[in-house]
């Protein structure tokens, strides 16, 4: 797998480097504008609703619904830990314990959910943790790419399913989302296409097909045992995250889990595209507009539960985990303990990844 930057000579490399510097400056501005714009639109949507009404709706959530939302949160973060475990199996790495993988995954996603764009960030956090266990930068690069691809696979699978089964769910977002998604006829066609992409991935893995190359994107089909785990694990994180909101909504007037899932996927995708930190404002705006007729204070209360369980509490816990981990690393270094066993060499195959390029990028990052 060749470096993208290296193709086309030094001039092309210089142009790409300049574009990268510009994008690093532009994207935070776009994210800030998305937060401000969506905040203003959300304010207009919620005009006339008092804070007391939202507090009342929050207090009206039964204890058992809070407990179910907490269980859904555990399912979501357990699925994210499984993403890491699957990637390690792909690398042939088996000496790292489930406990370490779970803590590393939890900390990575808890931080990146609040600071950046969900699973597509956090490479440096993983680099810090997994290199301490003997992995090379190249191996961490493959792990990050495969986790990102697994998440994308789950989004495509569930997105295709809800568009086929509930093609008219997003009609309320006409004007906010492309007409391709809000028109029931085209939405169902798109859903079939998305499911076809997942089917192609499954068939390609089972039949050991050659890699599919589309311009600079190269899709490497993993071994079937890796693919099967991905198909099972991929949707679990999104199902768990959507379950937090579903359980926090009142039972009266609740449109059902599939509708909540469809609206959640649209909101989550819009939040990712917006580049807003944690999707703040964008996620709430799309969700409030897209939900069928329900009391707005109840929807806002459910979204606050989602933010609390999925974002804020994990973030606070992850800060404690990072501090304890760094303290233990420092203590080990002072005692002169030897590093852990060296894992096998990484197979440089991951979907849509130039592993060498990501490796160089991570090695340049100050840790």
Following DSSP, what letter does each residue of 224-267 receive, concatenated? Answer: HHHHHHHHHHHHHHHHHHHHHHHHHS-STT---HHHHHHHHHHH
> Above 60 in pLDDT, residue 108?
yes
> Hey, which residues does 214 pair with through a beta bridge?
217
pLDDT at 343: 47
Residue 7 pLDDT exceeds 50: no
Say whether pLDDT at 145 is over 90.
no
Looking at residues 261-270, what average pLDDT do you find?
Answer: 91
Higher-scoring residue by pLDDT: 80, 118:
80
| Residue 291 pLDDT | 86
Torsion over CA of 123, 127, 128 and 132, rounded to 10 degrees?
A: 160
The pLDDT value recorded for residue 29 is 64
Residue 333 in this model has a pLDDT that exceeds 60: no
* Measured distance CA(151)–CA(294) in Å, rounded: 30
117 pLDDT higher than 80: no
pLDDT of residue 349: 46
Contact 245, 305 (CB under 8 A): yes
Q: Is the pLDDT of residue 137 over 90?
A: no
CB contact set of 270 (below 8 Å; sequence gap of 6+): 176, 177, 279, 282, 283, 286
| Cβ atoms of 310 and 265 closer than 8 Å | no
**Cβ proximity of 160 and 194 under 8 Å:** yes
- In the predicted model, what is the mean pLDDT of residues 2-28? 50
What's the pLDDT tens digit per position in 33-70?
Answer: 655 765 655 556 666 677 888 899 899 999 999 999 99
The rounded distance, in Å, linking the Cα atoms of 174 and 165 is: 19
Give me the chain's average pLDDT, please: 79
Among the residue ranges 226-240, 289-303, 331-345, the one predicted with the least confidence is: 331-345
User: Taking the domains of the chain in order of start, what are their residue ranges?
Assistant: 30-364
CA-CA distance, 59 to 360, in Å (whole number)?
50
| Predicted confidence (pLDDT) at residue 9 exceeds the cutoff of 60 | no
């Amino acid at each position: 797998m060749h470096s993208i930057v290296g193709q086309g000579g030094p001039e092309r490399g210089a142009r790409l480097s300049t574009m990268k510097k510009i994008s690093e400056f532009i994207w935070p501005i776009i994210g800030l504008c998305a937060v401000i714009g969506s905040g203003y639109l959300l304010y207009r949507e919620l005009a006339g609703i008092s804070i007391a009404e939202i507090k009342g709706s929050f207090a009206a959530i039964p204890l058992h619904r809070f407990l179910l939302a907490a269980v859904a949160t555990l399912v979501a973060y357990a699925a994210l830990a499984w993403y890491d475990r699957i990637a390690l199996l792909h690398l042939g790495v088996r000496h790292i314990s489930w406990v370490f993988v779970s803590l590393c995954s939890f900390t990575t996603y808890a931080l990146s959910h609040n600071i950046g764009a969900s699973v597509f960030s956090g490479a440096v956090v993983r680099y810090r943790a997994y290199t301490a266990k003997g992995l090379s930068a190249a191996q961490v690069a493959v792990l990050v790419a495969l986790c990102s691809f697994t998440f994308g696979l789950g989004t495509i699978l569930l997105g295709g399913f809800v568009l086929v089964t509930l093609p008219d769910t997003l009609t309320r977002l006409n004007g906010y989302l492309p007409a391709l998604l809000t028109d029931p006829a085209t939405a169902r066609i798109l859903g079939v296409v998305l499911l076809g992409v997942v089917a192609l991935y499954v068939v390609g893995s089972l039949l050991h097909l050659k890699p599919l190359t589309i311009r600079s994107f190269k899709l490497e089909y993993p071994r079937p045992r890796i693919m099967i785990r991905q198909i099972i694990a991929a949707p679990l994180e999104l199902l768990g995250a959507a379950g937090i909101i579903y359980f926090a909504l009142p039972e009266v007037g609740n449109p059902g889990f599939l509708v909540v899932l469809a609206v959640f996927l649209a909101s989550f995708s819009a939040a990712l595209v917006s580049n807003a930190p944690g999707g703040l404002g964008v996620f709430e705006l799309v969700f409030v507009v897209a939900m069928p007729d329900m009391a707005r204070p109840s929807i806002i209360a459910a979204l606050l539960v989602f933010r609390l369980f999925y974002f804020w509490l994990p973030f606070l816990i992850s800060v404690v985990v990072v501090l304890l981990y760094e303290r233990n690393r420092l203590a080990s270094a002072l005692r002169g303990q030897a590093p852990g066993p060296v894992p096998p060499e990484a197979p440089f195959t991951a979907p849509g990844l130039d592993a060498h390029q990501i490796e160089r990028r991570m090695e340049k990052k100050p840790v």
